Amino acid sequence: MTHPNVVYVFSDQHRAQAVGYMGNADVLTPNLDRLREESVHFSTAVSTVPVCAPYRASFLTGKFPLTHGVFVNDVHLRHDVPSIADAFHAAGYDTAYIGKWHLNGRGRSAPIPREDRQGFKHWEVLECTHDYHQSRYYADDGTGAPDALGAKTWPGYDAEAQTRHAMTYLKNRRQRPRPFFLVLSWGPPHNPYDTAPERFQARYRDRALTLRPNVPNAMRPQAEAQLRGYYAHITALDQCLGELWQTLKAEGLEQDTLFVYTSDRGDMLGSQGQVRKQRPWDESIRVPLLMHYPARLGRDPREVTAPLGSPDIMPTVLALAGVAIPSSVEGRNWERHLVGGAPPPSEAALIACIHPFGEYTRAQGGKEYRGLRTDRYTYV
CATH topology of domain 5-347: Alkaline Phosphatase, subunit A (3.40.720)
Would residue 52 show up in a list of annotated catalytic residues for this protein? yes
pLDDT tens per residue, range 133-169? 999 999 987 766 554 457 899 999 999 999 999 999 9
How high is the pLDDT of residue 358?
A: 87
pLDDT of residue 363: 87
**Of 254, 281, 344, residue with least CA distance to 42:** 344
E-state strands within the chain = 5-12, 40-42, 45-46, 94-100, 122-126, 136-140, 152-153, 180-189, 257-263, 289-292, 302-304, 308-309, 349-353, 369-373, 378-379
Residue 40 pLDDT: 98
Average pLDDT of the residues in 290-294: 98
| pTM score, whole prediction | 0.97
**Catalytic-labelled residue, pool 52, 128, 240, 353:** 52
Residue 69 gets the label, from left (phi > 0), alpha (psi -120 to 50) or beta, of left
* Residue 136: per-residue pLDDT: 96
Q: What is the pLDDT of residues 236-287, one digit of tens each?
A: 999 999 999 999 999 999 999 999 999 999 999 999 999 999 999 999 999 9
Quote the pLDDT of residue 73: 95
Is residue 175's pLDDT more than 90?
no
Average pLDDT over the chain, rounded to an integer: 95
pLDDT digits 0-9 by tens, 184-225: 999 999 999 999 999 999 999 999 999 999 999 999 999 999
pLDDT at 291 over 90: yes
Quote the radius of gyration of the chain (alpha carbons, Å).
19
Q: Hey, what's the torsion of the CAs at 98, 103, 104, 109, to 10 degrees?
A: 60
State yes or no: is 292 an active-site residue. no
Q: Above pLDDT 70, what percent of the chain?
A: 98
The pLDDT value given to residue 176: 85
Residue range 10-14: average pLDDT?
98
Q: Are 75 and 69 in contact (CB under 8 A)?
A: yes
Gap between the Cα atoms of 117 and 235, Å rounded = 30
Per-residue pLDDT of 33-86, as tens digits, reads 999 999 999 999 999 999 999 999 999 999 999 999 999 999 999 999 999 999
Active-site hit among 14, 41, 68, 102: 102
Give tens-digit pLDDT for 328-367: 999 999 999 999 889 999 999 999 999 999 888 888 888 9
Going by C-alpha positions, the residue among 318, 317, 378, 315 that lies closest to residue 349 is 378
Q: What is the pLDDT of residue 213?
A: 96
Query: What pLDDT score was predicted for residue 142?
Result: 72
